[in-house]
Chain A
Amino acid sequence: MLHIANKSFSSRLLLGSGKFAHPGIMQQAIQASGCQLVTLALKRLQLGQQQDDLLSPLQQMNIQLLPNTSGAKTAKEAIFAAELARDALQTNWLKLEIHPDPRYLMPDPIETLMAAEQLVKLGFVVLPYCSADPVLCKRLEQAGCAAVMPLGAAIGSNQGLQTRAMLEIIIEQAMVPVIIDAGLGAPSHAAAAMELGAAAVLVNTAIASSQNPVAMAGAFAQAVNAGHMAYNAGLAAAHSHAAPSSPLTDFLATL
């Protein structure tokens, strides 16, 4: 079980709800993935535009909704967004994300830490999207974050675990769940993250933008399970030279 704050989840796959072609496909993908945590975002309402009923199908699925603060460029904006999101969804769970630069969407570590410190004091369950920086992750943990969400690669880039060496240190040191967020482009990337000992992964683009999001959601779910089982089983050590797995005797030497 994945334990975050006061809740337990049997699935270690978190899904982002963005970029799906249709809400119905998103719901089917969520079901196929078995995920129990789904992220959502906040936007200014366009008056006169029809409001889709996004929430009632999700609320019937018995999943924890995780609003994010995407769009915030500073700690101040993120705290404002967090308060809006808490009221909109009636949950104090929050994915904190502050990325001022639209080209790479790299999280601002200073603003993120400042916001996290204040949001924890305001009673939020804070899951910060952050750089794969072991010192920052430790500081976010000390600030009272319920988990840390370091990036594998840039958001939506599908490049996999570019930050692998740093993730290994983060996972080794962490006392809270480490959820690898962003950049996971294939089920094999998710499996690799879980093999490193990640508590969970968050996937959005790789599922939503695939040719068959529902099937891909299922594939990610299996990969996450396989990677987690492998981590628990204890991977065999890697070597720089061959190590025979059949007996190398000279029983053919008489020919």
Chain B
Amino acid sequence: MRIMLNDTSLQLATVSTLAQLLQQQQLRTEGLAIAVNNSVIAKRLWQEYQLQNHDQIQLFHIVTGG
């Protein structure tokens, strides 16, 4: 399966859920938010959320700001 992660195209072999993708990418989940195909996927769903071929995944995180 091939997905877009922000601006990077990724070929996934062993990864099938959002949570597995985050683990593979070694991402800190604190302050992180995810949208798949422009819909926000709540944190509590990451564990079971099944990725599909051609999914556009966008990662956002909290930074400082006024």
Report the minimal beta-carbon distance from B35 to chain A, rounded to whole angstroms. Answer: 7
* A68 CA to B60 CA, complexed, in Å: 13
CB distance from A20 to the nearest CB of B (A): 7
B42 on the A face (CB < 8 A): yes
Complex CA gap A219/B26 in Å reads 42
Is A239 in the interface zone, CB < 8 Å from B?
A: no
Size category of the B interface is 20 to 34
Instruction: Tell me the nearest residue of chain B to A84, going by C-beta.
Output: B33
Q: How far is the CB of B7 from chain A (nearest CB, A)?
A: 8
Residues in A whose Cβ lies below 8 Å from that of B30: 53, 55-56
Closest CB of chain A to B42's CB: distance in Å? 6
CB-defined contacts of A46 to chain B, threshold 8 Å: 6
Known: A42-B60, A54-B62. A47 touches B33 (CB 8 A): no
List residues of chain A with CB under 8 Å of any chain B CB: 16-20, 23, 26, 39-47, 51, 53-56, 67-68, 70, 80, 83-85, 87-90, 155-156, 202, 204-205
Give the 4 A-B residue pairs with the shortest CB-CB distance, closest first.
A41-B65, A16-B66, A204-B66, A84-B33
| 21 contacting pairs across A/B (C-beta < 8 A) | A16-B66, A17-B65, A39-B65, A40-B62, A41-B63, A41-B65, A42-B33, A42-B65, A43-B61, A45-B6, A45-B32, A47-B25, A51-B27, A54-B64, A55-B30, A70-B66, A80-B35, A84-B35, A87-B40, A88-B33, A89-B62
Q: Which residues of B contact A (CB under 8 A)?
A: 5-6, 8, 25, 27-28, 30-35, 38, 40, 42-43, 58-66
